Amino acid sequence: MSPNLPETTAALLQRLGVAGDALGGGTLAARTPITGAVLARVPETTPAAAEAIIGRAQEAFLAWRRVPPPRRGELVRLFGEELRAHKAELGRLVSIEVGKIVAEGAGEVQEMIDICDFAVGLSRQLHGLTIASERPEHRMMETWHPLGVAGVISAFNFPVAVWSWNAALALVCGNAVVWKPSEKAPLTALATAALFARAAARMGDVPDGLLGLLMGGRAVGEALVEDARVPLVSATGSTAMGRAVGPRLGQRFARAILELGGNNAGIVCPSADLDLVVRAVAFAAMGTAGQRCTTLRRLFVHDDIYDALLPRLAGAWRSATVGDPLAEGTLVGPLIDGAAFAAMQSALVEARAAGGRVVGGEREHAQDWPDAWYARPALAEMPAQTDLVARETFAPILYVMRYHTLDDALRRHNAVPQGLASSIFTTDLREAERFLGPEGSDCGIANVNIGPSGAEIGGAFGGEKATGGGRESGADAWRGYMRRATNTINYGRTLPLAQGVRFDVGD
Ligand code: UN1
């Protein structure tokens, strides 16, 4: 069993540079899902304080936008150095605060380091087009400018990495950042902000308030969403959250980058390499205790291999070690809280009522840790893709269904509201290419012979439909954090008008 977690956490936070007064006397109880113990009581940001923090960020933006982008990249480089130096500590804090196994906690910090490296390179690559003009002695080009204060709302399951995808890009693009972390993960946010402050101090001339932190629940999130000084909000969380946030941003014509629910599926074809499938499916469905937005939740298995694959999956489901995420050998840590466990149980009741055959799903370690919520991942063989299967339950449940033709599998694959990540397992080139083609997966992420989760930051991340349409990290996501101006320059002595318009005034 893990040593005294409140004590370990206090020591970690101190090493990460979080001041003691940020941790006590507040109203936001930071708990560890490992035991359910309270680790700290963090002061919450009042609406008036939120107003002031956004104001300071706005001031910081006015100075930061004048700093040349490669110099802005230097701040992100130094932040990346802090993360490298404190990877193990911050990773462990992630594990303690949200229950990820140690390898995944460290992996989350690695993802932050990766996006910092990416953003540093990008800081010398922010580029626009030059465009041929129809008018003689004219030149057209586009120029990209900083946007303003970028709001970031992040979820508990990737409490720091998803923020960093947004923040690293937003900062090199010349924006200030105001961050509303999940109220279930305030400590990793405080630690990350402390590391950022160290990087800023090392750089020297960084304006105060460039990174603001809003601690608390819905009210402070709303303050960020409603504030006219915030032209962009990137929000990660449930589709319900996106439905609340998106229209409010639209109302004031602010930009939204939404990364919402997923209901990710895999298709296992007759030619698939089943050894690889078992490993890929196990990680994608059980990893992070089923609490990734990219978690594999639905699996379509071809009739010809169904009976060969299912016992192997059931074996993996039965044998995976569920327990203390800090202990070596654990594969599945706790669910974030009792509400998550209750949602999982009610989904399993519904699955059985619909004729599903369920392996796993039971509570574990209730004796050792009565205030924590460990569950054996569940494998539910379903007769059909019911309403339940089409919903995202944020817990380790994999619904398995049979298919006979790829057309039918593709139709059912796409017949859910969400469109984040997807996979096909096949060694048949035609099947793989169909899946990746226009009639294939309708998701933002479509993979071959790997699961839907665990994306690298080099590729754009996000999905379609009820997933919200946003794209973060990778590729050209930086454009989402800048405003584009189209410039036309006349270096001649006449004034030819576009489209051949004549407008001859006498003077
Ligand atoms: C999320 O769950 O919100 O692709 C993000 C992945 C991770 C990110 C998940 N790189 O699974």
DSSP for 185-208, please give it: -HHHHHHHHHHHHHHHHHH--PPT
User: What's the CA angle centered on 191, arms 187 and 194, to 5 degrees?
Assistant: 140
* pLDDT, position 231: 98
Annotated active-site residue 259? The verdict is yes
In the reported structure, the alpha carbon of residue 94 is separated from the centroid of ligand 1 by a whole-number distance in angstroms of 14
Residue minimizing CA distance to atom 6 of ligand 1: 454
**In this model, does residue 194 exceed pLDDT 60?**
yes
Q: Which of 183, 177, 18 is nearest to 98 (CA)?
A: 183
Q: Is 164 in the pocket of ligand 1 (CB under 6 A)?
A: no
Residue whose tokens read 């993979």: 447
Q: Around Cβ 21, how many Cβ atoms within 10 Å?
A: 9
List C-alpha distances in Å: 20 to 24, 41, 85, 191: 7, 11, 21, 12
Could you tell which of 113, 392, 453, 473 is best to mutate to test the pocket of ligand 1, judged by most ligand atoms within 8 Å of the CB? 453
* Mean pLDDT for the stretch of residues 442-448: 98
Q: Is 260 in the pocket of ligand 1 (CB under 6 A)?
A: no
How far is the C-alpha of 268 from the C-alpha of 141, rounded, in Å? Answer: 48
Contact 149, 57 (CB under 8 A): yes
**In this model, does residue 140 exceed pLDDT 90?**
yes
Q: Which residues contact 315 (CB under 8 A, 6 or more apart)?
A: none
Instruction: Given the residues 74, 259, 381, 472, select the one marked as catalytic.
Output: 259
* Mean pLDDT for the stretch of residues 398-409: 98
* Mean pLDDT for the stretch of residues 226-237: 98
Ligand 1: atom nearest CA of 236 is 3
In the reported structure, the alpha carbon of residue 312 is separated from the centroid of ligand 1 by a whole-number distance in angstroms of 26
Q: Is 236 in the pocket of ligand 1 (CB under 6 A)?
A: yes
Answer positive or negative: Cα dihedral of 382, 386, 392, 393: negative
* Mean pLDDT for the stretch of residues 486-500: 97
**In this model, does residue 144 exceed pLDDT 60?**
yes
Could you tell which of 152, 158, 422 is best to mutate to test the pocket of ligand 1, judged by most ligand atoms within 8 Å of the CB? 158
What SS3 class is residue 220? helix
Instruction: Given the residues 116, 173, 269, 293, select the one marked as catalytic.
Output: 293
Q: Is 112 in the pocket of ligand 1 (CB under 6 A)?
A: no
How far is the C-alpha of 497 from the C-alpha of 135, rounded, in Å? Answer: 7
Task: Give the lowest-confidence range in 24-28, 339-343, 476-480.
Answer: 24-28
In the reported structure, the alpha carbon of residue 89 is separated from the centroid of ligand 1 by a whole-number distance in angstroms of 21
**In this model, does residue 1 exceed pLDDT 60?**
no
| Two tokens, residue 412 | 């059912």
**In this model, does residue 388 exceed pLDDT 90?**
yes
* pLDDT, position 3: 63
CATH 3.40.605.10 residue ranges of the chain are: 47-260+468-485
Contact 84, 212 (CB under 8 A): no
Ligand 1: atom nearest CA of 295 is 11
Q: Where are the alpha helices (DSSP H) in 393-480?
A: 406-414, 429-436
Give burial (CB, 10 Å; 0-12/13-18/19+) of 253.
exposed
Of 3.40.50.300, 3.10.20.30, 1.10.10.10, 3.40.605.10, the CATH number of 47-260+468-485 is 3.40.605.10
Ligand 1: atom nearest CA of 262 is 2
User: What's the CA angle centered on 299, arms 308 and 429, to 5 degrees?
Assistant: 80
Determine what percent of the chain is predicted with pLDDT higher than 70: 99
Render pLDDT for 348-380 as a digit per residue (tens, 0 to 9): 999 999 999 999 999 999 999 999 999 999 999
Ligand 1: atom nearest CA of 293 is 2
Annotated active-site residue 293? The verdict is yes
Q: Is 157 in the pocket of ligand 1 (CB under 6 A)?
A: yes
Homologous superfamily of 264-448 in CATH?
Aldehyde Dehydrogenase; Chain A, domain 2 (3.40.309.10)
* pLDDT, position 21: 81
CATH 3.40.309.10 residue ranges of the chain are: 264-448
Residue minimizing CA distance to atom 7 of ligand 1: 454
Residue whose tokens read 């203390």: 324
Mean pLDDT score of the chain? 97
Q: Is 158 in the pocket of ligand 1 (CB under 6 A)?
A: yes
Q: Which residues contact 357 (CB under 8 A, 6 or more apart)?
A: 380, 381
Q: Is 156 in the pocket of ligand 1 (CB under 6 A)?
A: no
**Maximum Cα–Cα distance across the chain:** 93
Determine what percent of the chain is predicted with pLDDT higher than 90: 97
As beta bridge partners, residue 145 has 483
Q: Around Cβ 135, how many Cβ atoms within 10 Å?
A: 15
Q: Which residues contact 4 (CB under 8 A, 6 or more apart)?
A: none
The one-letter amino acid at 355:
G
* Mean pLDDT for the stretch of residues 156-162: 98
* Mean pLDDT for the stretch of residues 142-166: 98
In the reported structure, the alpha carbon of residue 140 is separated from the centroid of ligand 1 by a whole-number distance in angstroms of 39
Q: Please state whether beta strands 397-403 and 418-419 pair in parallel, antiparallel, or not at all (unpaired).
A: unpaired
Q: Is 294 in the pocket of ligand 1 (CB under 6 A)?
A: yes
Q: Is 451 in the pocket of ligand 1 (CB under 6 A)?
A: no
**In this model, does residue 475 exceed pLDDT 90?**
no
Question: Confidence class of residue 507 from pLDDT cuts 50, 70 and 90?
Answer: confident
In the reported structure, the alpha carbon of residue 289 is separated from the centroid of ligand 1 by a whole-number distance in angstroms of 13
Q: Is 293 in the pocket of ligand 1 (CB under 6 A)?
A: yes
* pLDDT, position 2: 59
Render pLDDT for 288-338 as a digit per residue (tens, 0 to 9): 999 999 999 999 999 999 999 999 999 999 999 999 999 999 999 999 999
In the reported structure, the alpha carbon of residue 470 is separated from the centroid of ligand 1 by a whole-number distance in angstroms of 14
List C-alpha distances in Å: 269 to 61, 337, 382, 435: 52, 36, 18, 11
Render pLDDT for 273-292 as a digit per residue (tens, 0 to 9): 999 999 999 999 999 999 99
Contact 198, 46 (CB under 8 A): no
Q: Please state whether beta strands 149-153 and 232-236 pair in parallel, antiparallel, or not at all (unpaired).
A: parallel
Render pLDDT for 13-64 as a digit per residue (tens, 0 to 9): 999 999 888 888 999 999 999 999 999 999 999 999 999 999 999 999 999 9
* pLDDT, position 214: 98
